[in-house]
Amino acid sequence: RYWMNLTPSDIMWNTSDTGWVKAAWSSVFAPWICGSCVFVHNMPQFKPEVIAETLSRYPITTFCTAPTAFCMLVQRDVSSYKFPSLKHCVTGGEALHPEVLAKWKAQTGLDIHEAYGQTETVRL
């Protein structure tokens, strides 16, 4: 609830593949516990332009994707797209480079909220 900042009026889009536990947490458990809607998009291959077009076309308020995806998005420069409903962006896994955080903020006006989970804290 606090990291994703979800409310019952939010629409959550998480791009994680269903083979990852991130899909269960960010596409099912967290949004539904908070009463939020879940946006689903069939995207067999990651394409930054499809992500940007989808965020600009649909009323997605919360967006979660991998750090690598945010890197690819800012390399494409998404500043020409308008994301009228988007208000909260989250990622998890490896840390994003400060340059990517700054570029996303400059291109969209939004911060990326980073976190790590059980996968990142396991020691063998």
**Domains, the chain:** 11-115 (3.40.50.980)
pLDDT at 73: 97
Q: Averaged over 33-38, what is the pLDDT?
A: 94
Please say if the pLDDT value at position 120 is more than 70.
Answer: no
pLDDT at 118: 61
Per-residue pLDDT tens for 64-103? Answer: 999 999 999 999 999 999 999 999 999 988 889 999 999 9
d(CA 124, CA 26): 26
d(CA 48, CA 70): 9
Half-sphere exposure in the Cβ direction for 114 (13 Å, CA) = 12
N-term to C-term CA, the chain: 30
pLDDT at 123: 53
Packed helices 67-76 and 98-108: angle between N→C axes, nearest 10 degrees? 50
**Mean pLDDT rounded to a whole number for the chain:** 89
Residue 79 DSSP label: G
